[in-house]
Structure 1
Amino acid sequence: MNKFTRSIALGLVALSLLGLTGLPATSQAKTLEEAVADGKLTVGIHNRAPWGFRGSDGLVTGFHPDLVRAAFEPLGIKQIDFVISDFGALIPGLNANRFDMIASGISITPERCGQVIFSEPDLSVLDGLIVKKGNPKNIHSYADIAKNPDIKLSGGRGSLNTKNALDAGVPTDQVLQLTDAQATLAAILSGRADAATISAPSAQALLADPNLAGLERAMPFKGLLKADGSEAAMYTAVAFRSKDKDLRDAYNKQLAKMIADGTVRKIMSKYGFADSDMAPSKTTQDICAGK
């Protein structure tokens, strides 16, 4: 077992313990008025850089936690607790009142819009692909995977990246749907998979780990292509329970201010996002409608 594989195993144990003992298990549904009166909110994350993760100092950091803190602290909500969950359990956890919102790189999709309500989008990012050093199977698109039955692709269960691969024609029996990013990378290192689909920013963050050897991004890479020939993007946002419209609306108001005054761009820069990753001109309503 190499150093990175050991770190994956230890990390999964640590996350399990944190989920059971380190953070509150439930959070009662609350209105904006109640949140301000309590001065606290509980937020679901899935522990992946650069979205929302526990840093080496034990504190939760990331693009979306920073964004949520910057939005709600001026409203008097100073205590923001974070609950770590598997990505696929975030929406069920939100609707089961384990937390008040999801702020961890979740993207807006028409299907998810039927389960939760989203803020306006804050970023627009593309899919990335992680492969073994040298890209031995010469993979540069989902089409390359679809036409070669010997290629196995790993991806997060319930992630838009995995859905994009399937929508691009990659057969289901060529896709290993796993719990998290660490598991998808471990599948490549162990030989169970040849590549892992993940958002481009997540791929960049994971490959920055000095303990991770033998892997690289497939460059160039083409993800799911739309009818007009452009690449399908992932529009990220913060998710709320359907009944918590006042909480969502308050966040949207703060988000618009932070976009205008440069706060969002500053947080983007901190986590390695470029101007090309800025929020699209599309609204959440458009994205939910599949436009």
Structure 2
Amino acid sequence: MTTTAQRRARRIAPLATIAALALTLAACADEGESADRGGGGDDGDASGGSGATLTLEDLQEAGSITVGFAGEAPYSFMEDGELTGATVALHEAVWAELGVDTVEGQQAEFGQLIQALTAERFDVVAAGMSILPERCEQAIFSDPEFQYTTALMVPEGNPDGLEPSMQSVEESDVQMAAMTGAIEATYAADLGIDAMEVGTPQDGMDAVVNGRADVFALTGISLNWMADNNPDAPIEVTESFVAEIDGVEQVGAGGTVFRNADTELRDAYNEVLAEIVGDEERYLEIVGDFGFTAEERPTGDLTTEQLCAGDI
């Protein structure tokens, strides 16, 4: 079993952050640029728009995998110049068991991750991304890695008296902020809430602190991490809750994202992931340092197939 010390000794080597990604993706795709390691063809293309396949054997031969992350603590974030977080630790553990020694991280805004994946900027996406039907139309997901609840970040004292629910935001005359591409932005749209979208969790907290937003909705684990690590910020976080839309509880889970052609690679990842998730002690040994508890460990009640079909 990989120890915490060993995992930290194998810190992910962060590559350059994707700046102005939306302006460059189309041009890169048109160039037909090949990945350094081949997949399924003699031309060495990785999977994605080309339709080629990236295999575990390709990664083992190269000795590395490039993983796309979003800067959302405690899932994946920069600390002392290095990329760390729960998804980072999980990927270190899984890929090490699969014989891929080096995991290189490339950071992008959350809402651009799948687009960057299909444009072959990296091999997989690991950002704790919610498994949603519309996302499953663009790419394929691993089995669930984390289960989710939502929370609200509000100014200290909760001056608008918001309750821990999306309906409380809907019924109040408040300005809500949500992260672009995050499930909370979808909740807002479904409820007719005119939410201000922000690029990062820090932007959301800054909006609340600076008075540009009255509430910032995000996963409870992320907001509590931010509050704990910014004790002087004049904010507080409500209790976590399961959002309800049209009377249906939005039970959610997140997983790793693969390109559509990479089913065998996804299956190999799932095999090791199942061993980790199925062992509560080991799961918490990997992600517990980042605030995750047994409540976030998937129980098997929700499958990727159900989540992709919206059958929850």
TM class by smaller structure = 0.7 to 0.9
Q: Partner residue of 2:187? A: 164
Pairing 1:1-291 to 2, within 5 Å after superposition? 18-19=17-18, 28=35, 29=46, 30-56=54-80, 58-140=81-163, 141-148=165-172, 150-167=173-190, 169-172=191-194, 175-210=195-230, 212-219=232-239, 222-225=241-244, 231-261=249-279, 262-280=281-299, 281-291=301-311
Alignment coverage as a number of residue pairs: 266
Q: Is the 8 A contact 2:97 2:272 kept in 1?
A: no
Q: Structure 2: which 5+ residue stretches go unaligned?
A: 1-13, 20-27, 36-45, 47-53
> 1-side partners of 2:229 and 2:154: how far apart?
15
Instruction: Tell me the CA shift for residue 16 of structure 1.
Output: 11
What's the TM-score once normalised by structure 2's chain length?
0.79
> 2-side partners of 1:43 and 1:34: how far apart?
15
Q: Deviations over 1:227-274 (max 9, x none)?
A: 666x42330111110111111111001111222344223223222112
What's the TM-score once normalised by structure 1's chain length?
0.85
For the residue of structure 1 that corresponds to 2:177, the secondary structure is strand
For the residue of structure 2 that corresponds to 1:276, the secondary structure is helix
For the residue of structure 1 that corresponds to 2:229, the secondary structure is coil
Q: Is the 8 A contact 1:165 1:223 kept in 2?
A: no
Q: Is the 8 A contact 1:142 1:223 kept in 2?
A: no
**Pair 89,62 (structure 1): closer, same or farther in 2 beyond 3 Å:** same
> 1-side partners of 2:101 and 2:273: how far apart?
17
For the residue of structure 2 that corresponds to 1:19, the secondary structure is coil
Identical amino acids, percent of aligned pairs: 30
> 1-side partners of 2:234 and 2:79: how far apart?
24
Q: Partner residue of 2:39? A: none
Amino acid at match of 2:284: R
Amino acid at match of 1:42: T
For the residue of structure 1 that corresponds to 2:91, the secondary structure is helix
> 2-side partners of 1:155 and 1:123: how far apart?
20
> 2-side partners of 1:259 and 1:146: how far apart?
36
Runs of 4+ aligned residues of structure 1 deviating over 4 Å after TM superposition are: 226-229
